[in-house]
Structure 1
Amino acid sequence: MSVLVRTEGRETAAGAIRPQAGLSTASRVAAVTVLTSLPVFLPGAANGLICAELGWSPVRMGAVLAVYWLASLSGAFVSRRAALPPVVERTLSIALFATCLGLLTAAVAPAVGLWISSAVGGYAYGYTQPHTNALLMRRCAPRLRAFAFGLKQAAVPTATLLASVAMPMLAGAGGWRLVFAGTAVLCGAGGVFLVRQGMRHGIRPGHSGARHPAATRDRGAPLRVGTFLVALSCAGFFGAMVGNGLGGFLVLALTTRGVSLSAAGAVATAGAALNIAVRLAMGWLVGRVPQVAWAALTGLFLTGAAGTALLTRPGLGAITVGALLAYGGGWGWAGLLHYAIALPYAGQEQRATAYSQMGVSLGAATGPLMCGLLFQLGPDAAWWALTAAGSAAGACVLVARGHVGPRPDAGVSPARRRPRDSPRPA
């Protein structure tokens, strides 16, 4: 599982980077993203089994999941000031080892270990996400970058599906703890492989290759947090409220309305699969037609808002359409959002996307908690709140679009224009 990039080593021109190499890097980054996401999705899939064994309430399990996203927020906060290491795979290997230890602790001593796993795994996830964003921007061909971000972010709903499938299939035979332990072994094996690749291909002592021009230009330059970054980070906050609130309460809301558990599960599974397809499709589209990026990002948020509004309507047909729109649009924006933030900040992609990751992590923790409180008033109250959040996310994108650049055609494109309020090189 090698994800190797020399941020200060010899760099070829962006157009000369082989697309095949970029796709290989993106796929391996996606694999790491799946593994570091599982400390939050495995407990969610095993919610009933864990509560039955430990005597926990759903409220306590909800708090365990919220700890993951709050820890992710703190990891992204620290990452915004961290220097990008010479070989990013070393940082990813440490994240996998930390995730491994957390999952093993949850399997052996769940009463304490589940909290530790969420905290450690969430921090590792939040800290490494900006690192992998910078890796994709620097090692993927310009035409492939948007798709690479879509592939990476598609790993998150993929982790949800894997956890949902693995838990009922494997937990029956050996218990949910065995699933946690097996996942920990996979994380540990991935970490070992990354370490070996780093030792094999790492920068040699005394190596003095040419530096990436963007990294040299922006070294030590503080990242100004202007309207562009704030607006898109807020879009990530509101959008993550929708996606994670939907994932946590859709099945419960459907069964409360009398829909069978199997039908509710099928609707949620179809929505998650559509979400994966949308993230990949949007990356592919923007990679070929860059000028549609802003319209696509705004449209995704507003489509999600329309979907959550439809969830308030009676009838399985309206609810199914609403769920698909909410999943596809309301949670299909993630790759495109991080790409839009990274693109104008050549050499500072890690620092810029740390802010968007903080927004996403905070929204991921806030959405389920808000829905849990509003659900007591009725499912419709939660869906209307998420509709408002999706609409606010779309409005934030429109604000950010107005601060991309001084030219009328300024937007997300391989030209990597800087926002008007970002620091200019001397």
Structure 2
Amino acid sequence: MLVHARDPFTTSSTSRSPSGLPTAVGVAAVTVLTSLPVFLPGAANGLISAECGWSSARMGAILAVYWLSSLSGAFVSKRAALPPVVERTLAVALGATCLGLLCAAAAPAVGLWLSSAAGGFSYGYTQPHTNALLMRRCTARLRAFAFGLKQAAVPAATLLASVAMPMLAGPVGWRPVFAGTAVLCGLAALLLARTVARGDRSAATQRVRGPALRGDVFLLALSGAGFFGAMVGNGLGGFLVLSLTDRGASLSVAGLVATAGAALNIAVRLIAGWLIGRVPQAAWVALTGMFATGAVGTALLAHGPLALAAVGALLAYGGGWGWAGLLHYVIGLPYAGREQRATAYSQMGVSLGAATGPMACGLLFTVNSAAAWLVLTAAGVAAMTCALIARRRGVRARHGDVRRGATTRT
């Protein structure tokens, strides 16, 4: 829920803890709500296809529209200035998500496309804004955990959609579930709009001058890491159950493995953020280690018996999709005052990879399922390589600054 004391985003010392934890909780709630336009259709895929007579390819295209719209939203955010009151932007985004979900419930033939487009754009546009909020309003010790909490909201939204759809869609149908979710988004938008209307200027975001922001090697390498890493994560989310059932697992067993993997993914994102908050120098080791672990997991999914594939699924979920919070955290750190624009680069990479991974897996699974997992293994290795390049580039840049400073002093 967005309600936390007076205002989940306020910076007033009288209404929030000094750490900025209420900001992190509010951001996580917004992330859950703006993620649901892609996860609800995925969970209701069978029901929607049966009612509308759609093929799985058409539903896959609707989900791809969400991530491509998210890419465009992140691109626009990269070029936009951070507003003085970010809550106003978040309220508009939640309102757009609400309208999209209502259209999907009322007229799915058109509304599902509109919901994916509006929801995806809202998600991609607001992600860099909320990254900037976390960087500026959370203490250094809490910051990495706040990013982990925010990114844990994404698999949490997957679990919520997967649980709510079977429980509620059976008695009432999938349309009321969409409409109920739209109401939640609308209420959250009204809450944030009310916060802005109160004139609570403590919610304003300070404008901070930072270094010039260019598409340099550091930014591009971490954007590439997000692209390849998202290919793994979203390909895994879309095709793990199918792969396990093809190997002989029952649907209940395959679903249990996928649920355990999603729960592990949430735990990894939270624990990694908590750990890096206390041992900041471990951030790069953790990031590259996650990509490597995910590559091992998808390699096990490509070959081996069913039990080994289940272990691979957990490794792939925990490592191959547990990196998201750390990625946005490390890309925002060097750009004080420009966190929004810096993390827009990584968000564009993530959004493009999220659309590309499932599409590539869908094509490859029709030929050879093992080939799909091998491609995702290669993507995991590529993500790790990009992270190593970014780390080396960051070290060189810091050393260069030290040398220039020494020259200036002499």
Q: TM-score, normalised by structure 1?
A: 0.89
Residue 315 of structure 1, CA deviation: 2.1
Q: How does 1:15-414 map to 2 (within 5 A)?
A: 20-203=18-201, 212=206, 215-218=207-210, 222-406=212-396
Q: Is the 8 A contact 1:4 1:198 kept in 2?
A: no
Secondary structure of 1:59's counterpart equals helix
Q: Is the 8 A contact 2:142 2:277 kept in 1?
A: yes
Residue 81 of structure 1, CA deviation: 1.2
Aligned residues: 396
Residue 4 of structure 1, CA deviation: 3.2
Following the alignment from structure 2 to structure 1, what is the Cα–Cα distance between the partners of residues 316 and 228?
A: 13
Q: Is the 8 A contact 2:16 2:22 kept in 1?
A: no
Residue of structure 2 equivalent to 1:424: none
When residues 25 and 216 of structure 1 are mapped into structure 2, their CA distance, relative to the original with a 3 A threshold, is closer
**What is the letter of the counterpart of residue 265 of structure 2?**
N
Residue by residue over 1:216-270, the C-alpha shift from the partner in whole angstroms, topping out at 9 and shown as x without a partner, is: 423xx75211000000000000000000000000001111112100000000000
**What is the letter of the counterpart of residue 54 of structure 1?**
C
Residue of structure 2 equivalent to 1:413: none
Could you list the runs of 4 or more consecutive aligned residues of structure 1 that deviate by over 6 angstroms after TM superposition? 407-410
Q: Is the 8 A contact 1:96 1:188 kept in 2?
A: yes
**What is the letter of the counterpart of residue 209 of structure 2?**
R
Residue by residue over 1:150-192, the C-alpha shift from the partner in whole angstroms, topping out at 9 and shown as x without a partner, is: 0000000000000000000000111000100000000000000
Secondary structure of 2:67's counterpart equals helix
**What is the letter of the counterpart of residue 84 of structure 1?**
L
Q: Is the 8 A contact 1:308 1:387 kept in 2?
A: yes
Secondary structure of 1:344's counterpart equals coil
Unaligned 5+ runs, structure 2: 405-410
Residue 316 of structure 1, CA deviation: 2.3
When residues 216 and 27 of structure 1 are mapped into structure 2, their CA distance, relative to the original with a 3 A threshold, is closer
Q: Is the 8 A contact 2:9 2:26 kept in 1?
A: no
Residue by residue over 1:81-105, the C-alpha shift from the partner in whole angstroms, topping out at 9 and shown as x without a partner, is: 1111111111111011000000000
Following the alignment from structure 2 to structure 1, what is the Cα–Cα distance between the partners of residues 397 and 223?
A: 23
Residue of structure 1 equivalent to 2:408: none
Residue 377 of structure 1, CA deviation: 1.4
Following the alignment from structure 1 to structure 2, what is the Cα–Cα distance between the partners of residues 76 and 406?
A: 28
Q: TM-score, normalised by structure 2?
A: 0.93
Residue by residue over 1:266-316, the C-alpha shift from the partner in whole angstroms, topping out at 9 and shown as x without a partner, is: 000000000000000100010000111101000000000000000123322
Following the alignment from structure 2 to structure 1, what is the Cα–Cα distance between the partners of residues 367 and 31?
A: 36
Q: CA RMSD in A?
A: 2.1
Following the alignment from structure 2 to structure 1, what is the Cα–Cα distance between the partners of residues 221 and 10?
A: 30
Q: Is the 8 A contact 2:209 2:338 kept in 1?
A: no
Between Structure 1 and Structure 2, which shows a larger proportion of helix residues? 2
Residue 3 of structure 1, CA deviation: 4.3
Secondary structure of 1:274's counterpart equals helix
Unaligned 5+ runs, structure 1: 411-416, 421-426
Q: Is the 8 A contact 1:4 1:88 kept in 2?
A: no
Q: Is the 8 A contact 1:5 1:88 kept in 2?
A: no
Residue 390 of structure 1, CA deviation: 0.2
From 4, 8, 17, the equivalent of 2:9 is 4
Secondary structure of 1:330's counterpart equals coil
